[in-house]
Amino acid sequence: MNEYMFSDITIGLEASFDVTIDSSKMSMFLEICNDTNPLHMCGEYARSKGFSEKVVHGLLTSSFYSTLVGVHLPGKYCVLHGIDIKFIQPVYIQDKLVVSGKVKYINEAYRQIEIRALIVNQHGKKVSTATIRVGVKDE
Amino acid sequence: MSRDEIFEGVQDIFRDIFDEDNLVLEDTTNSDSIEEWDSLNHINLVSAIEKEFKIKFALGELMGLKNVGDMINLMIEKSNE
């Protein structure tokens, strides 16, 4: 886990990590939120709606934005203030994703930083983007 | 930029953050006037104002502010620096 202090953070500071979405992650997420929409449960239904296979929950994929800030950037001293997410492409089971973020703005007075983040799949396509606001509580 | 233009810009930021298209600010508007104006939204307001108006506040400058009018006056002061 990274431990960036507020004073370490500069505009442009970046972090990234890889993750593969396997069926066990999807099962665990389903157990937590119980979103049983057929788009996530039934391949045949998903295909009838124009998708290649059943679609991974957008908020499961987006949960890695939490990991990005809580573990990588800034890491230990992060307090999540807010997040705006745009979903761009569907994610399927076994997709290999790269989650990355870069510091775009620093509020010195209140020690808040804004991170522009994105998730890209194994085909190089953006599956989502996010603007994440976090406080850095290193005091 | 005139005081009215700054005021309009700040009002747009408030409307966006509090998700209330008809929100009307007065100089006397303060955190007691808007139910959702909590500490986190206060930080979000300051961040949005800094980015929109390309100014930076120091914590000490912000601590003395009592209402929107004080904020606008501080912004005018800083834009003249």
All structural domains of chain B:
3-79 (1.10.1200.10)
Mean pLDDT value across residues A33-60: 96
Q: Are A93 and A25 in contact (CB under 8 A)?
A: no
All residues of chain B having their beta carbon less than 8 Å from the beta carbon of residue A108 are 56, 58-59
| CB-count burial class (<10 Å; 0-12, 13-18, 19+) for A74 | buried
- Smallest CA–CA distance from B57 into chain A, residue: A109
Across the interface, whether the CB atoms of B62 and A109 are under 8 A apart is answered yes
Q: Does pLDDT of B64 surpass 90?
A: no
Percentage helix, strand, coil, to 5, in chain A?
30, 40, 35
Measuring CA to CA, which residue among A50, A35, A55, A54 is closest to residue A128?
Answer: A55
Mean pLDDT value across residues A44-67: 96
Percent of chain A predicted with pLDDT > 90:
99
Mean pLDDT value across residues B7-24: 95
ipTM, two decimals: 0.77
- Smallest CA–CA distance from A109 into chain B, residue: B59
Superfamily (CATH) of domain A6-136? Hotdog Thioesterase (3.10.129.10)
- Chain segment A96-121, per-residue pLDDT in tens: 999 999 999 999 999 999 999 999 99
B47: closest CA of chain A, how far (Å)? 6
The answer for A 53-92 residues in CB contact with B (under 8 A) is: 81-82
Percent of chain A predicted with pLDDT > 70:
100
The answer for B 24-43 residues in CB contact with A (under 8 A) is: 40, 42-43
Q: Does pLDDT of B1 surpass 90?
A: no
Residue B9 banded pLDDT, cuts 50, 70, 90: very high
Across the interface, whether the CB atoms of B47 and A110 are under 8 A apart is answered yes
Residue B26 banded pLDDT, cuts 50, 70, 90: very high
pLDDT confidence of residue B80 = 77
Q: Which amino acid is at B12?
A: D
What does pTM read for this prediction?
A: 0.86
Asked if the C-beta of A31 comes within 8 angstroms of chain B's C-beta atoms, the answer is no
Length, in residues, of chain A? 139
| CB-count burial class (<10 Å; 0-12, 13-18, 19+) for B19 | exposed
- The residue whose two tokens read 């008809």 is B22
Bridge partners for A114 per DSSP:
A105, A133
pLDDT confidence of residue B79 = 83
